[in-house]
């Protein structure tokens, strides 16, 4: 597999090829996923929940993210590496510049931030300084206390319209990738059609340009519960590498997510 870049993912969207993405937090799993042919790896602040046993992602700090980014980088040859900017590390542009630099120096090829219109100036500034950005709309876990829990977003027309508008603004600001989490499938389809950058869904239906799962969910080893939008691929294969290859294949063929994994209005 050739080195995956943001240009690779954009070309895949343009050609109608599905993008497969998964989280990883260490070199061993990252190497296995890279060898299996995954297109992108996200070092997610989900590590707060799946590795640290926290109730949410808020306790994760920039040093945690840099450490795990360095670890993943050592296991990867071809896969694009994306690192989450954790809670309150990009509240101001200056914070964002400093903390994004730490993640890029740790080995990330792109940083991910949660939020809509308010991030426009920050994204512009990062891109001008050579830092690619993945935006994130829908259920943004760092805002869990504002939402009152982990709930599907965008079911009301006003909220859906705002999300589509935000997606266009984030693209115009320079974001090169967009994660859509826990939104109705029709909205996932509408946003994917409204922007030219690739969209990566997690609980956003099958019409996004790609999918992402937390590795612990995809392998059926999450310590809490299995989200509706996920699937245990390991139970079908009995082998971790084959499980990831199956995940990639099912996404590519349009078989995952299935109707049982999506949200409707």
Copy the structure tokens of residue 241. Answer: 């590498």
- Degrees, nearest 5: CA angle 96-25-127: 25
Reported pTM: 0.96
Q: What percent of the chain has pLDDT above 70?
A: 97
193 is a domain residue:
yes
pLDDT at residue 149, rounded to an integer: 66
Q: Where are the alpha helices (DSSP H) in the chain?
A: 6-14, 27-36, 47-50, 62-73, 93-106, 120-128, 144-147, 157-173, 185-194, 215-218, 234-237, 240-252
Sign of CA dihedral 68, 252, 153, 10: positive
Q: Which of the following is catalytic: 117, 128, 156, 181?
A: 181
1 is a domain residue:
no
Taking residues 239-263, report their average pLDDT.
97
- Say how many domains are in the chain: 1
Question: What's the chain's average pLDDT?
Answer: 95
What is the three-class DSSP state of 258?
coil
> Binding residue per annotation — 46?
yes
> Binding residue per annotation — 112?
yes
214 is a domain residue:
yes
Q: Please write the tens of the pLDDT for every residue from 124-176.
A: 999 999 999 999 999 987 887 776 666 899 999 999 999 999 999 999 999 99
Q: Which domain holds residue 39?
A: 6-261
213 pLDDT band, cuts 50/70/90, is very high
pLDDT at residue 45, rounded to an integer: 96
- Degrees, nearest 5: CA angle 250-251-253: 65
110 is a domain residue:
yes
Q: What is the CATH number of the domain that holds 161?
A: 3.20.20.60
51 is a domain residue:
yes
181 classed as catalytic: yes
Maximum separation of any 2 CA atoms in the chain, in Å: 47
> Binding residue per annotation — 84?
yes
Q: Please write the tens of the pLDDT for every residue from 56-93.
A: 899 999 999 999 999 999 999 999 999 999 999 999 99
pLDDT at residue 37, rounded to an integer: 97
């Amino acid at each position: 597999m050739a080195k995956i870049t943001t240009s690779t993912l954009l070309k895949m969207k343009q050609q109608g090829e599905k993008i497969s993405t998964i989280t990883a937090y260490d070199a061993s799993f990252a190497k296995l996923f890279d060898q299996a042919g995954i297109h992108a790896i996200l070092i997610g602040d989900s590590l707060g929940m799946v590795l640290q046993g926290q109730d949410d992602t808020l306790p994760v700090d920039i040093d945690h993210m840099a450490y795990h980014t360095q670890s993943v980088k050592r296991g990867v040859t071809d896969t694009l590496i994306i690192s989450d900017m954790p809670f309150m590390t990009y509240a101001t542009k200056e914070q964002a510049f400093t903390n994004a630099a730490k993640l890029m120096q740790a080995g990330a090829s792109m940083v991910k931030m949660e939020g809509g219109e308010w991030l426009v100036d920050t994204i512009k500034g990062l891109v001008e300084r050579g830092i690619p950005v993945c935006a994130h709309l829908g259920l943004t876990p760092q805002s869990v206390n504002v939402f009152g829990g982990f709930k599907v977003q965008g079911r009301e027309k006003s909220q859906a319209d705002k999300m589509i508008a935000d997606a266009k603004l984030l693209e115009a600001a320079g974001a090169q990738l967009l994660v859509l989490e826990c939104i109705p499938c029709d909205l996932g389809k509408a946003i994917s059609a409204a922007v030219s950058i690739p969209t990566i869904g997690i609980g956003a239906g099958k019409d996004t340009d790609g999918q992402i799962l937390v590795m612990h969910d995809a392998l059926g080893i999450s310590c809490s519960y299995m989200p509706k939008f996920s699937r245990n691929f390991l139970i079908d294969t009995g082998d971790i590498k084959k499980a990831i290859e199956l995940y990639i294949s099912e996404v590519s063929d349009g078989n995952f997510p299935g109707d049982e994994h999506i949200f409707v209005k």
